[in-house]
Amino acid sequence: MKKTFQKLASVFVLGIALLTACNEAPPVIKDASILPIPVSLKQDTTCFVLAKSTTIGINDPQLKPAAEYLAKILSPATGYSFKVTEGEGNINLGIGTIEGAADAYTLVSNPEGVSITGNTYRGVIAGIQSLRQLFPAEIEADKKVSGMSWGIPSVQIQDAPRFGWRGLMLDVSRHFYTKEEVMELLDLMALYKMNKFHWHLTDDQGWRLEIKQYPLLTEKGAWRKFNNHDRDCIKYATEQDNPDYEIPADKLQIVEGDTLYGGFYTQEDVKEVIAYAQVRGIDIIPELDMPGHMLAAVSNYNGISCFEETGWGSTFSSPVCPGKDSALEFCKNVYTELIELFPYEYVHIGGDEVEKTNWKKCPDCQARMKEHGLNSEEELQAWFIHEMEHFFNSKGKKMIGWDEIIEGGLSETATVMWWRSWAKLAPSQTTGQGNDLIFTPNAPFYLDYTQDKKSVLNIYNYEPMKEVPDADKQHLVKGVQGNIWCEWIPSRERMHYMTAPRMLAIAELGWSANDRKDWNDFQVRMADQFSRLNVMDIQYRIPDLEGFMKNNVFIGEKKVEITCLDPTASIHYTTDGSTPTLESPKYDGNLVLTETTDLTLRVFRPSGKRSDIVKAHYEKTEYTPATTAAPSNPGLKATWHDFKGRKCADIAAAPVKKTYRVEDVTIPRDVKSYIIGLIYKGYINIPEDGVYSFFLSSDDGSMLYIDGKEVIDNDGLHAPGEVTGQAALKKGYHPIEVQYFDHGGGSINLKVCNSNGKEMPFTYLYAH
């Protein structure tokens, strides 16, 4: 972390050097800090200064929207009115021959002017985003900033994307976002060179797209009474003192005395959003999810479901009936209207999480299976997906589906989005058949998942090609995408908080070549973006505070050491369990504890916006003596239980299936079930007296006990996440127990660090 802050300081010094190198009344020049990192960037000590007379020239009429877009970026904060002209300007945009991937660009700035050349329109847009980031953050202001002059360093940039697909998905069904809120997200995507917006328009909780042939889909299907997700959000808003969880009033209406939540897009709204995205070089991939997740449809029209009664009888509601011609006709009719709206290459059918119980009982479904020689309901789903894909192809479109479309048979032309991280064979099955693949595994690309210290790092260090080891197949990897599922994300502010800064890591993963990526450098550039996001009023999540565990121990007294990557933020705390406010004590680096203390921490941005609450327990203790036992068997004893519960404490009472010896806290290879309980027991050999830090990550729940005392509680059903804790241990053997359960293909890992923070490769032992 010291290197990170030293680098931030050096950026400031270089910025001063550049400032003094510019003309008389020099502008504030920031060092070039671009995210995603370009292929090549060279910088000198001169600068280009934006003036009232600056013009924007284009060498191709198709670039007029790009030039007008650039003018709209630069005009509000400067107060200047920029003329766009065909031919030479002070800032020149051009399309030319640049070798390499599509959307490559060059950017050259010097005191005489700026030149951006792309090999496509989208390449020019990418260059505009780099130019935008060369200006101080205040360029993002929506009104004139007084007392500023505007300059950028002289640079030579050559750049091109690694992947052609750099996407975000927004689920507007669980919670709805207006067209203006969607456009704001598109602006944020464009800033970081993301080019695919996946619009999840329908699901059980709401139908969000106007279909003129079926008006009830939005008249009825776009509105609902508060559901469990809404009630949870209302509860969280109070419990966590966080207004971002509140249900926005503009999404509510009163109908016959009932408060209904919802909203939808008219077809004119969609056309407006599409036009907005096109200027910014973003394709929109629409999704009407089927054959599952169709409650809004089957509840409002007959002849779509297997039976008349529909509802919430299981985790997933009644699907479309693939046995009825009327259901197929409905699906094709709604997609006909969608396809007429969206001028893009792809449509997304969904195809995930289909509850097939009704299909097994439905005479129409069984008749369809007999007619086509289908041996299972999985093959019936594949038949439906293929039928729809043929229809899409007839309309000039290609189909994308979630990785469940592999089951029952994958067509030759479908593109697969791999989301189930536990479906390990899906990437090789897809590319092995010659199909295109988009990486969006739930861990780490689901942006609704709880964030922790590793969330951004896990995205940044993810390498898709490791899942496709055959080099001849790697060209089939189209790229990466983050998914914003919105069950517990009811507002624009909460959506931004869950999306940024994780989306910055996705952007760099998708754009930048592997040999340019560096985590420490990325942290510096990410921190540099925070002032820009503040000006844009983006409620980003401040990266986790560093320097402490969730559960800390100390001997004697403890100086609390906390660092924050965001230089614009302030940290406030309480010790009585109350929620910190701006009036609470401010952490200044001089907090010393002499007794067991519970700290409650909260970080505040300059606008007063606050982070989620962070709790840290500091326990004053003494070193725990080692056991007199001398275990000699290498490894840990792992007991597999037939466990379907939701608390680790209940695992031991479940029937035992098998016992293993494992070298580390890992899932034994032949534990194939997706609903499991495991208990690991043994001893850890502590080399010297000290305070040791433990890092337990799991999906789902886990607990760590040392010497019979709880050190980490990571229990419950949850997405992948890490919890930390410490123990003060004397040299020698200490009994260790880890409890773990999972519902649906999880993971577990335990890491140990010594008093100096260095990770230690421990050898575990156990006794018979």
Residue 649 burial (CB count, 10 A): 11
Give residues with Cβ within 8 angstroms of 708, minimum separation 6: 735, 737
Residue 518 burial (CB count, 10 A): 13
Residue 224 has pLDDT above 50, yes or no: yes
Q: How much of the chain, in percent, has pLDDT values that exceed 70?
A: 95
Distance (Å, whole) CA 283 – CA 165: 10
pLDDT, position 464:
95
pLDDT, position 14:
41
List % helix, strand, coil for the chain (3-state, nearest 5): 30, 30, 40
pLDDT, position 310:
55
pLDDT, position 422:
84
Of residues 401, 491, 411, 408, the one with CA closest to residue 437: 401
Residue 115 has pLDDT above 70, yes or no: yes
What digits encode the pLDDT tens for the residues 357-368? 899 999 999 999
Chain center to CA of 164: 18
pLDDT band at 267 (very low <50, low <70, confident <90, very high): very high
The angle formed by the CA atoms of residues 52, 53 and 57, to the nearest 5 degrees, is 120
| Mean pLDDT, residues 604-621 | 92
What digits encode the pLDDT tens for the residues 693-703? 999 999 889 99
Cβ(582)–Cβ(557) below 8 Å:
no
Architecture of domain 633-766: Sandwich (2.60)
What would the DSSP string read from start to end of 106-174?
EEEEETTEEEEEESSHHHHHHHHHHHHHHS-GGGG-SSPPTT--EEEEEEEEEE--S-SEEEEEEETTT
pLDDT, position 721:
87
Helix or strand (DSSP H, E) at 559? strand 558-559
- Give the C-alpha distances (Å, rounded to integers) separating 362 from 98, 331, 386, 505, 664: 58, 19, 20, 46, 48
pLDDT band at 4 (very low <50, low <70, confident <90, very high): very low
CATH superfamily of 177-221+264-500: Glycosidases (3.20.20.80)
What digits encode the pLDDT tens for the residues 535-585? 999 999 998 999 999 999 999 999 999 999 998 899 999 999 999 999 999
What digits encode the pLDDT tens for the residues 446-467? 999 989 888 999 999 999 999 9
Task: Write the DSSP symbol of residue 651.
Answer: G
Helix or strand (DSSP H, E) at 398? strand 398-402
**Residue keyed to tokens 């773990």:** 740
The angle formed by the CA atoms of residues 82, 85 and 91, to the nearest 5 degrees, is 60
Query: What is the third-level CATH fold of 13-159?
Result: Chitobiase; domain 2 (3.30.379)
pLDDT, position 757:
86
pLDDT band at 15 (very low <50, low <70, confident <90, very high): very low
pLDDT, position 765:
85
What digits encode the pLDDT tens for the residues 132-190? 999 999 999 999 999 888 999 999 999 999 999 999 999 999 999 999 999 999 999 99
Mean pLDDT score across all residues of the chain: 92
Distance (Å, whole) CA 419 – CA 438: 9
pLDDT, position 718:
87
| Mean pLDDT, residues 224-237 | 96
What digits encode the pLDDT tens for the residues 623-646? 999 998 778 889 999 999 999 999
Residue 441 has pLDDT above 60, yes or no: yes
pLDDT, position 152:
96
pLDDT, position 514:
87
